[in-house]
Amino acid sequence: MIGANGGGAFLFVYLLCVIFVGLPVMVSEFYIGRKTRKNVIGALKELKPNSGWKSIGAFGIVTAYLIMFFYSRVAGWVYSYVFKALKGDFASINAENAKNMFINTIVGPVPPIIWQIVVLAVVSFILILGVQKGIEKVTKTLMPVLFLLIVICDIRAVTLPGAYEGFKFLFKIDFGMITKQGILMALGLAFFKLSLGMGTMVTYGSYFTKDNNLINTSIRVALSDTVVSILAGIAIFPAVFSFNMEPGAGPGLLFMTMPLVFSKIPFGSILLVLFFILASIAATTAMMSIVEVLIAYYTEEKGFSRTKAVVLNAGVIAVIGILAALSVDSSSLLGNIKIFGKGFFDLFDFLSSNILMPIGGLLTAILLGYFIKKDEIKYELSNNGTLNLDFLINTYYFIVRYVSSILLIIIFLNSIGILKF
């Protein structure tokens, strides 16, 4: 998205969205989760019984499904490229072969569905193990590996001739490149990357203990996510510019240009395998976080066993996700079927990232900023008064009440055409 939206200008807007919208909403979702100890639907029902605020939870459930319908397909691409890299399919690749390989990967029709099912099977296996034995154990093992692989790729990228142009593209801010569409996309990306507006942070907040510092945890999550994202950019853009690739290739930036780039540098075949393993780790852990929202809802509200909830949701995602798998490109089997001018893949993406997540975040900000007493918020965020966080809590409350809410309203009204800027 940085490559297609002005480089450093998009990154600048994204960082502002993280600071003034993402962080306050994350703290708010953690507050809701830990205070109620329930899933995203149950939490809102307990926090504000007999009211319409449970619609925030409903938005979260619907959003989680929509994301999984298309994101499981993207994860399937990554898994398939790990397999291709291990087989050595990129050993003597050229630009035309790289493009054709990517098109064949996304068009299918059979391979996309198979890889989607493989991804869901891996995610389901981990989720059935539970939070501590599954999610926590896997992420504690894989996250350091992910970080190490990014650093390895960074070291290779920064030593390439012409790497400076990639740095300049990534970090130079040209305010003329900022567009209203780019602002909306940056906001949606901030929500997507921080797992906001989809119930994830409410769900994980419900697992926190009373001694967790919610504000510090939110800052660490946002900071680490942003740092790793920028490191990923450093791994990609210097290499792209060094070999005169197109930075605005969208998904092709990863799947079409990277095999070609790494095929032209020393130890490229090894680095390429590591690169796609990195991407598969990121995709798997992201899916685990989102599906956990659905699992918590079905186990707590519907009384399902964890295994039954995982299998049911994996089945639903697999079946409806086929629509996304077969509509990625105009040459796909369902590529010519359009709803509101968008194929199923793009429709699921747009509805979740640009509509439902910002709405969920807006409602959360309004709820915490105007309908929950400040003293209650202060009591919970200070861990029953044991933490001296008056300045941070007051700052959070001011931003969520007067900045986050207003920004989200303005951006959303512009996105649906009511407000023009």
Q: What is the pLDDT of residue 58?
A: 86
Per-residue pLDDT tens for 391-412? 999 999 999 999 888 888 877 7
389 has a pLDDT exceeding 80? yes
pLDDT digits (tens, 9 = 90+) for 146-175: 788 778 878 888 888 888 888 899 999 988
Tell me whether residue 279 is in a domain.
yes
The whole domain housing 178 covers 8-415
Distance between CA atoms of residues 188 and 248, nearest Å: 18
In a domain, residue 102? The reply is yes
Res 313 pLDDT > 90: yes
State both tokens at 385.
């008064």
What CATH number does the domain containing 275 carry?
A: 1.20.1740
**DSSP line for 66-98:** HHHHHHHHHHHHHHHHHHHHHHTTTTT--HHHH
Residue 393 tokens read as 């809590």
In a domain, 66, yes or no: yes
Is the residue at 1 inside a domain?
no
User: Would you state the pLDDT for residue 334?
Assistant: 74
pTM: 0.85
Give tens-digit pLDDT for 6-30: 889 999 999 999 999 999 999 999 9
Q: Report residue 342: phi and psi, to 5°.
A: -125, 145
* 2 part of a folded domain: no
Q: 324-328 contacts: CB < 8 A, separation 24 or more?
A: 324/69, 324/70, 324/72, 324/73, 324/348, 325/73, 325/76, 325/108, 325/109, 325/112, 325/113, 325/116, 326/108, 326/109, 326/112, 326/113, 328/73, 328/106, 328/107, 328/112
* pLDDT at 378 exceeding the cut of 80: yes
Can you tell me the mean pLDDT for 254-261? 75
Q: What is the pLDDT of residue 282?
A: 80
* Contact partners, residue 296, CB within 8 Å, separation at least 6: 39, 40, 203, 206
- pLDDT at residue 130, rounded to an integer: 66
Give 231-246 pLDDT, tens digit per residue. Answer: 888 888 888 888 777 7
194 token code pair:
């921080």
Long-range contacts of 247-251 (CB under 8 A, 24+ apart): 247/3, 247/4, 247/7, 247/169, 248/3, 248/4, 249/3, 249/4, 250/3, 250/4, 251/74, 251/77, 251/102, 251/106
CA distance 187 to 356: 12
Which of 10-19, 189-198, 206-215 has the least mean pLDDT? 189-198
Is the pLDDT at 133 greater than 80? The verdict is no
- Domain count along the chain: 1
Taking the C-alpha atoms of residue 370 and residue 393, their distance in angstroms, rounded to an integer, is: 15
Give the pLDDT band (50/70/90) at residue 35: very high
Flag whether pLDDT at 356 surpasses 80.
yes
In a domain, 421, yes or no: no
